[in-house]
Chain A
Amino acid sequence: MLHFNIPNGEKGEKVILLLRRHPFIILVRTISWAVIALLPLIFYLLFGNVIAGFFIAEAFYPILILFTSIYYLYIWLFMFAGFIDYYLDAWIVTNKRIINIEQKGLFNRVISEQRLYRIQDVTSELKGLFPTFLNFGDIYIQTAGEAERFIFKQVPDPYRVVKKITLLVEENKKFHNLMMTEDKITV
């Protein structure tokens, strides 16, 4: 069992799966920012002397210092924000429901949930070169009477996850039907 604070956790609810995007996604983002961080250095090495001629000599140095400082501060900030976006996007499968937590930007957080017994169809999709080699992909979860699907994005080992969710859904449906029958008998 995973130790995790479930949003609006219910009595007897256990976390079965806690999923995030594949680490490859954050690695690609980090490399992209690292390349952007190196750009001014490459640019300076290639065209430093030419550019210096365009600026008014006395203003060039202070502005360059300020620009460089801000440039690296903000790259560092965006890298950190990228990590937080990755880290706070999570999909939780418990023994009772699935929870979709999405951090859309800094001040926009969406949490949606669906009961396991309402799930009708679970599909995984593994598309592209890197997803195929590294075994990550999307999982689509269709629920009863809902037009909108739940999508687990770029999660590792999607086949195993689908198998696990399907098993949980079957168990939960059996339990739910049993509960419904008991309720009818009582009434």
Chain B
Amino acid sequence: MTISLAIFYYIYLILVIIYLFYTFSNIYHLVRFGFISIGNITLIFFYLAVSILILTISWRYIGQIDWRQTISLIPQFQF
């Protein structure tokens, strides 16, 4: 029995979408209930910069993988 490696990729994309949703919610809270100050704006930009950095580095590796390949769930033994 084999499954497509792309399934893991789609799960990853869903988790990234959830991440983006929570990122938006966090920033919204900080802007709405916090106070617009230089410290706050710097913090938001720093958070976004690190997020973009993680996603960019990830994408460099993810882009190199062939997601069309399949993997076997049952171990195949060779005699």
Contact = CB atoms under 8 A, between A and B. Distances in A.
- Give the size category of B's interface with A: 20 to 34
A59 interface: yes
B29 A88 contact: yes
Interface string A54-70: 00101101110110111
Contact of A58 (B12, B26, B29, B69): B69
A72 B53 CA distance: 11
Contacts of A83: 43
Given A69-B62, A76-B54, A88 B19 contact: no
Interface residue SS majority, chain A: helix
A4 B26 CA distance: 21
A77 B58 contact: no
- Give the size category of A's interface with B: 20 to 34
Given A77-B22, A103-B29, A69 B54 contact: yes
A87 interface: yes
Contacts of B61: 65, 69
Interface in B4-56: 5, 8-9, 11-12, 15-16, 19, 22-23, 25-26, 29-30, 33-35, 43, 47, 50-51, 54-55
A35 to B, nearest CB: 18
Interface of B: 5, 8-9, 11-12, 15-16, 19, 22-23, 25-26, 29-30, 33-35, 43, 47, 50-51, 54-55, 57-58, 61-62, 65, 67, 69, 71-72, 75
8 contacts: A59-B5, A59-B71, A62-B65, A66-B62, A76-B50, A76-B54, A77-B22, A80-B47
